[in-house]
Amino acid sequence: MPSVTLRVGAGDVEVSALLLGADGRVRGDADMVFEGQPVHPSGAVRHEEASLVVELGAVEAAVERIVVAGSAGGGALSAVAPDGEAVVACTVTGGPDALAVVLAEFFRESGGWKVAEGGRGYASGLAGLVTAYGVDVAEEEPAAVAGPVPLTGVAKVPVQAPPVAGAPAARGPVGAQPGATAGEPVGALFAPPAVGGPLPVAAAAGQVAAPAPPGPFPPADRPYELVEGWEFGPVFEPFVVEGRGNDVIQLDDRVGDGPVLVEVAQEGRGYLGLFTLDRRNRDETDFLLNDLLPEFRGSTFAQVPKGRPLRMRLAADHRWILRVKPLAAARRLEGTLHGYGPELLVYRGGGADLRVDFQGSPEDGRGYAGIQSYGVEGRTGGRLPAMDLLLNEIGPLRQTVPVPRGPQLLHLRAEGAWTFTVQELD
């Protein structure tokens, strides 16, 4: 197989992908990609409009096989390259009693990828198929219960979720200057949702309330201030680019070595992914952002490499703005804070209990929420220290987690709206 981006589908058959390790099993929740969980954390496999987009060259080294499954007894499988050529085309059947079938398997061999036609059918449907690859699927709730069907185990397969659509285009750069605007939150990428208290989570019957919308699409000259007393990371004038569609972004020489804050906003509904590029101009292993949130607003951190500029690949479907700022320009976590999507926060208080209210994904009411903590006391530069995982959950939640005393960087990955409330310990 050519190591290019392939669009894999089977006509009207709903397809999904399972990314498998050397033991032939999924490693965790994110290794199953389907309509209700449409993006793998690596960004290498995505579900779009009843088909899969598979970037073979970007698949993590730990993934040995990619199984393409269909929720039907068979289908006409095709894998189309960017130039429109069908590099795979075959008809697959799983037998007369099959309700789900393995359509194909991509597998590594001799430093590249090959593909094998499928054909294993499962009379027990998709639940039986995914179970064979290490997925534990819970029994459905009684029909009278409203909301998504809860599933437990390694990966979750909701019954139904709305598709996501979008279309790409092209861009141009702009500059920006710091300033001050009354009524806007200092250091925030966007105006927070108009929520007067903790976000509502799922009701007893499983119904998830609609998330509060984010603020307006932010202007290029968004004002900011540095958190007083924050010393970690380089200080520089902000770098701002705006555009539309996919692009490659290279920082100029105003940014010094070390970790920096990266803010991105995209209008509309569609995919947004951000990846750092290595010396060979290829995606590095970890992604910076990887989301399908409508009206995306988010921030994260990136490490500026020593001796060369930071280069990033942005995959986007619509108009976007990207800003690179000092870490000290991130929002400060104190009191009660509302947000929408992933965000990098700075914390300078003592040891505290952090109340987390996560509303879930606006697409299916589930969504991922995770918090990574980096203690930077006594540090002024270099790389970030080892990470502590404070939260790692799927679906709406209301939990309290302990936060070590600052200075701390808290890296939140959230596929929806959230509220944080800090209660410092005596």
d(CA 260, CA 314): 17
Mean of pLDDT values over 97-121: 89
User: pLDDT band at 393, cuts 50/70/90?
Assistant: confident
Size (the chain), residues: 426
Instruction: Please report, for the chain, how many H helices and E strands are present, in that order.
Output: 1, 29
Q: What is the pLDDT of residue 411?
A: 95
| Rg of the chain taking only CA atoms, in angstroms | 22
Pairing of strands 331-332, 343-347: parallel
Regarding pTM above 0.85, the answer is no
- The CATH number of the structural domain formed by 239-329 is 2.60.120.380
Mean of pLDDT values over 238-265: 91
d(CA 94, CA 253): 58
The candidate with the shortest Cα–Cα distance to 418, out of 150, 162, 201, is 201
What fold, for 331-424?
Jelly Rolls (2.60.120)
Pick the CATH number of 5-131 from 3.65.10.10, 2.60.60.30, 3.40.50.1580, 1.10.1660.10: 2.60.60.30
Count of alpha carbons within 13 angstroms of residue 394, beta-carbon side: 17
Mean of pLDDT values over 219-241: 84
Q: Which part of the chain has CATH 2.60.120.380?
A: 239-329, 331-424
Q: What is the pLDDT of residue 180?
A: 30
Q: Which part of the chain has CATH 2.60.60.30?
A: 5-131
| The token pair that represents 93 in the structure block | 């059947």
Cβ within 8 Å of residue 381, ≥6 positions away? 232, 233, 234, 257, 258
Q: Are 349 and 406 in contact (CB under 8 A)?
A: yes
- pLDDT tens for each residue of 54-99: 999 888 889 999 999 998 888 898 999 888 888 998 888 888 888 8
Residue 161: pLDDT above 90?
no
d(CA 40, CA 4): 17
Mean of pLDDT values over 306-331: 92
327 three-class SS: helix
d(CA 46, CA 51): 8
Q: What is the pLDDT of residue 35?
A: 84
Range with the poorest average pLDDT among 10-24, 94-108, 149-163, 236-250: 149-163
